[in-house]
Amino acid sequence: MEENIGNPKLMWKHLNCLLNRKSKRTGVQAIKTDEGDVVESQTITELFNEYFSNIGPTLSNQITSISSQGFESYMTHEASGIFEFATVDSTIVLNELEKFNSSKSTGPDNIPVKLLKDSKETVAPFLAYIFNTSLCSGIFPDNLKVSRVSPIYKKGDKKERVNYRKISVFSTIAKLCEKLVCIQLPDYLNANDILSPCQSGFRQNHSTMSSLLSNSDS
């Protein structure tokens, strides 16, 4: 337990083993509709696809007041220089690929992380070429935009779609490209002091506590 105190996943795995708890995770058995319960797996899949696809538009329609101000109004000064992505080489690709967890789920391309890591010396130059072409052209391949979506039960009635959240698993190659972008973009934003001090989401050395402290100070 002490060895895994920093890894909740492993800690609970050992706890459940000691307590002889067995996983009760099963697929969705039925979903409620106006016409009654649906039990066919294909129809359930289509219902979840419809629900998850409409979450954004549904929330957007509930927003009655939208500010007409553009993002420029929140910037305190003009950024110096134009941001451009720097091309990456196979060494950078190798280093970032090595950081990926080999036990992570496989994406819709069915290429395991372990396979990419085992063949990294061979595939790294080709991946670097793909990523550089994407960054220079400003086009992200459509195949890499596809994810495998799974509904995860939260609480309440298991037959209600609103009681599920979606988990999207993208291909490792797509996540690797995203990681390479995330290395460069924050450096430019931070160097030019573009982000608002109140912006804590998706920022290094920031957390929910940072946001709370910012609101408390204001």
What pLDDT, on the 0 to 100 scale, is given for residue 5? 66
What pLDDT, on the 0 to 100 scale, is given for residue 22? 62
SS3 per-residue string spanning 164-185 = EEEEEEECHHHHHHHHHHHHHH
What pLDDT, on the 0 to 100 scale, is given for residue 218? 58
The residues near 180 (Cβ < 8 Å, ≥ 6 apart) are 88, 92, 93, 96, 131, 135
Give the pLDDT band of residue 166 (cuts 50, 70, 90): very high
What pLDDT, on the 0 to 100 scale, is given for residue 26? 65
On the question of pLDDT at 168 being above 80, the answer is: yes
**Contact, 127 vs 144, CB < 8 A?**
no
Taking residues 80-89, report their average pLDDT. 87
**Contact, 94 vs 127, CB < 8 A?**
no
On the question of pLDDT at 62 being above 80, the answer is: yes
On the question of pLDDT at 210 being above 70, the answer is: yes
CA distance 214 to 206: 11
**Greater confidence, 106 or 71?**
106
What pLDDT, on the 0 to 100 scale, is given for residue 144? 93
Give the range among 78-92, 104-118, 129-143 with minimum mean pLDDT.
78-92
What pLDDT, on the 0 to 100 scale, is given for residue 104? 86
On the question of pLDDT at 25 being above 60, the answer is: no
Give the range among 169-173, 177-181, 200-204 with minimum mean pLDDT.
200-204
